[in-house]
Amino acid sequence: MGLRNPYRMAIDRRTGYLYWGDVGPDAGADNPTRGPQGHDEINQARTPGFFGWPYFIGNNKPYHDYDFGPQTSGPLFDPTAPVNDSPNNTGIQTLPPAQPAFIWYPYGPSAEFPLLGAGGRTAVAGPVFYWDDYEDTARRFPPYYDGKLFIYEWMRDQIFVVTMNEQSDYESIERFLPSTTFSNPIDMLFGPDGAMYLLEYGNTWNAANPDARLSRIDYIGE
């Protein structure tokens, strides 16, 4: 629970961990009486948990407890013991501690993840690649990508590769095919041949996009 707009999910079948993108609100700047600017998130769930919304965003950046009647702001929510005292709440009031996002970024440049750039936001999570899960074909991605998470940005037309350690903690991020411009990548998977199959929506909304396509990306070794 605690999700705002989850978009695309992938299960790491080696660890059982779940990854997904979560699209944040449109707020373009911090508000001192309401809370932080909007962020998109890539999340990693190792167990069931509470992932923050609508009390926190990103790495547990807190919102103020806002009263919509008199339109007054109260204190910031506490990520270690968030309280849902809404009159519409029919469940528990004291929620589990909030789980911070795995990766998070706003419209503008990210201090924590500057490689993600700036612009519109629609975070999407893809698969974790394991080299020996796929057939030994000429198309199979190389061992360099073994154990790495692929994520992508629908609005920014980019794909990224996330390196994790043996405990699946974040280590680093890099661009995938940085010289290639994608057309709103919207879904991806690895086929049994070890190649990547990428679905691209196209750059115009609600239209017959000539650049909408299903692509196969092969590894071509030397």
pLDDT in tens, 75-111: 999 999 999 998 899 999 999 999 999 999 999 999 9
Which percentage of the chain shows pLDDT scores above 90?
91
- Whether the bond between 100 and the residue before it is cis, its omega within 30 degrees of 0, is no
Structure tokens at 207: 């239209």
pLDDT value of position 213: 96
- 185-190 and 170-176 strand pairing: unpaired
pLDDT value of position 222: 67
Instruction: Find the mean pLDDT for residues 54-59.
Output: 98
Residue 29 predicted with pLDDT over 70: yes
pLDDT value of position 119: 97
pLDDT value of position 204: 87
Residue 53 predicted with pLDDT over 90: yes
Instruction: Find the mean pLDDT for residues 57-68.
Output: 96
Contacts of 174 (CB under 8 A, 6+ apart): 115, 160, 161, 163
pLDDT value of position 134: 94
Residue 27's pLDDT band, with cuts at 50, 70 and 90, is very high
pLDDT value of position 45: 98
pLDDT value of position 207: 85
DSSP letter assigned to residue 120 = -
Give the least confident one: 19-23, 137-141, 175-179: 137-141
What is the CA 192 to chain-centroid distance, rounded?
25
Instruction: Classify 184 in phi/psi space as left (phi over 0), alpha (psi -120 to 50) or beta.
Output: left
What is the rounded average pLDDT for all residues in the chain?
95
